[in-house]
Chains A and B, each alone.
Chain A
């Protein structure tokens, strides 16, 4: 038998080799590759879901613990929220101040909104700072002092930032009082 391959045989061997390459390419590209990819994706999804399932118990127990711990804060927060009435502050704050001072035997107290600003602190993103001008045209010093004490105690979210007390030239026993007060009000 001759060891030299004939031209015809070389062609056939080449054809077989090409067939082999095509078979391997098709097999890995269109069969095994996508299958492995799909399997890897599923394995990853399983790991992901398993991790979520494992952490879910922690999350729920953490939420339950937090709920217990935050009980005082929740009650306090609800109480602070309840200090402010529903609706636009310009609608309810001036009448409330008028009634408050009237109950303190100080008439004609007028509250005007100066401006309102947002907070820089992210914790107070849902709150607004309202600056009010409160004019009391005529009041007795001790009555004003008592009213301010009551106001500071009754409205923890309100602070007086500026106070001006003038004695009246005509009636020396009475004063004119101007207050600038800042109030924290939750956005509605």
Chain B
């Protein structure tokens, strides 16, 4: 077996140790890794730039359309509000109670031997109904019967137009006064009628004026 003598043993060992220096290897690894990360970053940056370009294009498109869209939305909101408001106003107009036809009906019910002194009517809250107080005097051989005729006439006439018609005496009393009607003396009675009803389908198309004046 040949004998090998290494006279540079120490120098070779030092060189090997330099080559295996962990710090040097670490720096090389870090540089390599840094390069890879940089490449990946550049790839991502390129994609981001591409997306930014797309975003700019879309924003340009949107800037062109936006004023029109905003105006359209504003107009839509305005129109919707107008439609809703008009609907509510129309409902109110349709639900109104017309007093003229009622006054006409009352005038038709008044016979020559009855007289109205006072009519006091009001629309109940939220259009739940109508409440009217009618006060007057009736004359005749049987003045109470004359007042009752008026009450029945009111029930009949108002019942043709309105629902749930109620006409009741709140008061009916004979008076001492004698009145001359058509040349004959007649007794008188004072009455107070309370009329309540629900206005049925309102005659919204128009309200005719009273056709003939009452006895009043």
Chain A residues closer than 8 Å to B34, beta-carbon distance: 23
Given contacts A16-B29, A42-B52, A165-B118, contact A36 B44 (CB under 8 A): yes
A90 interfacial by beta-carbon distance below 8 Å: no
Given contacts A39-B44, A59-B73, A121-B88, contact A149 B26 (CB under 8 A): no
Cβ-closest chain B residue relative to A178: B120
B80–A66 CB distance below 8 A: yes
Cβ-closest chain B residue relative to A186: B85
A70–B79 CB distance below 8 A: yes
Cβ-closest chain A residue relative to B204: A156
B212–A142 CB distance below 8 A: yes
From A15, A50, A64, A153, B26 is in contact (CB under 8 Å) with A15
A46–B55 CB distance below 8 A: yes
A46–B58 CB distance below 8 A: yes
A150–B209 CB distance below 8 A: yes
Main secondary structure of the interface of B (DSSP, over half): helix
Give complex CA distance A150, B208 in Å. Answer: 8
Which of A73-81, A95-103, A108-116, A130-138 makes up part of the contact surface?
Answer: A73-81
B44–A70 CB distance below 8 A: no
A20–B33 CB distance below 8 A: yes
Chain A residues closer than 8 Å to B116, beta-carbon distance: 167
Interface residue range, chain B = 35 or more
User: Which residues of B are in contact with A by a Cβ distance under 8 Å?
Assistant: 16, 21-23, 25-27, 29-30, 33-34, 37, 40-41, 44-45, 47-48, 51-52, 54-55, 58-59, 61-62, 65-66, 68-69, 72-73, 75-76, 79-90, 92-93, 96-101, 103-104, 107, 115-123, 206-210, 212-214, 216
Q: List 5 A-B contacts (CB under 8 A).
A: A23-B30, A49-B61, A49-B62, A52-B62, A73-B87
User: Which residues of A are in contact with B by a Cβ distance under 8 Å?
Assistant: 1, 5, 9, 12-13, 15-17, 19-20, 23, 27, 31-32, 35-36, 38-39, 42-43, 45-46, 49-50, 52-53, 56, 59-60, 62-64, 66-67, 70, 73-74, 76-77, 80, 121, 123-124, 126-127, 140-142, 144-146, 148-150, 152-153, 156-157, 159-167, 172-173, 175, 180, 184
Q: A16-B27, A35-B48, A49-B59 are in contact. List 20 more A-B contacts (CB 8 A).
A: A9-B22, A13-B22, A23-B37, A27-B41, A39-B44, A39-B51, A42-B52, A46-B58, A52-B62, A53-B61, A60-B69, A67-B79, A77-B82, A123-B87, A123-B88, A124-B85, A148-B100, A152-B99, A156-B93, A165-B119
Going nearest first, the 3 A-B pairs with the smallest beta carbon separation are A16-B26, A149-B100, A145-B210
